[in-house]
Amino acid sequence: MSDPDLLLDLSDLCIKTAERTLVDGVSYSVRAGKVTAVIGHSGSGKSLSARAAMGVLDVDPGLVRGSLRFPGWSGDRDWFEGVRGNGMKAQRRLLADTTILRGGYLTYSPQSASSALNPGRTIGRQLEIAIGRRTKPATNIGQVVKDVLNEVGLPARAAYALPRELSGGMAQRAALAIAIAPQPRIMIADEPETGLDPVLRRVVTELMLEVARKHGVGLMLISHNMDTVDRVADVVVKIVPVGSKPTLEGAPV
């Protein structure tokens, strides 16, 4: 029987370059309204596996093993079919084929808000673009922008600001607003606490969790902060050095 809450299923991922294996045997899933935390040492392949889960593979020969499914979007289709072992040409085709899911069904927030925000566009304009990716087109875009800003604790006037005019905490909130604006089913947050002080880290993480659960979004949290992981994760996936296998650990809800 299919799992109606299963949104993403990545299984037995193995990626190689000509010289070495980058990740081997990585598996995880994301479910609606739940938090899957991905942990591991720097360089273990956390971000690389997350990119692969979005259909972004850019090393050669690259994908040699694994499967990728989005049951909430494309049923039982394995998006790695025809890509495994076929090098960069097949990976570029996968990148093009999955363009439609990135920014709509699935959104990604990089480690730093400065990487998520376009420095040359106001926050409001960036939100308008993100809202335009919704499955059901929104009406009264100006009001929707205000509503999204309010949901992440930003004033309506933030719509007229450029990223450089925001404090670090406000920039993180703006990046979260842009990530949720398309009404995605999955949100991938890559080290969202990077560069923030301890108080602000907790505020940003709790806000992200609150918004994700309010909308039934499946949240994949890539993190080094075990205090945060222990507090918020439903499932913890530990990516360990190549040659070992990742483990799944139940974490307190």
Distance of CA 233 to the CA centre of its chain: 15
Residue 73 near residue 185, CB atoms below 8 Å:
yes
Residue 249 in this model has a pLDDT that exceeds 60: no
pLDDT at 157: 97
Q: Is it the case that residue 242 has pLDDT exceeding 80? A: no
Q: What is the pLDDT of residue 139?
A: 84
Which tens digit of pLDDT belongs to each residue from 106-117? 999 877 777 789
What is the C-alpha separation between 193 and 223, in angstroms, rounded? 8
Q: Which of 184, 96, 97 is nearest to 133 (CA)?
A: 184
Percent of the chain scoring above 90 in pLDDT: 67
* Segment 149-173 mean pLDDT: 93
Mean confidence (pLDDT) of the chain: 90
Is residue 252 over pLDDT 50? no
pTM: 0.87
Q: What is the pLDDT of residues 8-53, one digit of tens each?
A: 999 999 999 999 999 999 999 999 999 999 999 888 899 999 999 9
In this prediction, residue 199 carries a pLDDT of: 78
Q: Which range (109-113, 126-130, 143-147) has the least confidence?
A: 109-113
What are φ and ψ of residue 66, in 5° steps? 130, 165
Average pLDDT over residues 141-164: 95
Give the pLDDT confidence score for residue 243 in this predicted structure: 59
Percent of the chain with pLDDT strictly greater than 70: 94
Q: What would the mean pLDDT of 139-145 be, rounded to a whole number?
A: 92
Q: Is the pLDDT of residue 164 over 60?
A: yes
How many CB atoms are closer than 10 A to CB 191? 17
Would you state the pLDDT for residue 244? 53
Model confidence at 246: pLDDT above 80: no
* 141, burial (CB in 10 Å: exposed 0-12, middle 13-18, buried 19+): middle
Quick check: 251 pLDDT over 50?
no
Reply yes or no on whether the pLDDT at 79 is more than 80. Answer: yes
The more confidently predicted of residues 155 and 248 is 155
- The answer to whether 197 and 181 have CB atoms below 8 angstroms apart is no
| Per-residue pLDDT band at 241 (split at 50, 70, 90) | low
- Mean pLDDT of all residues in 134-158: 92
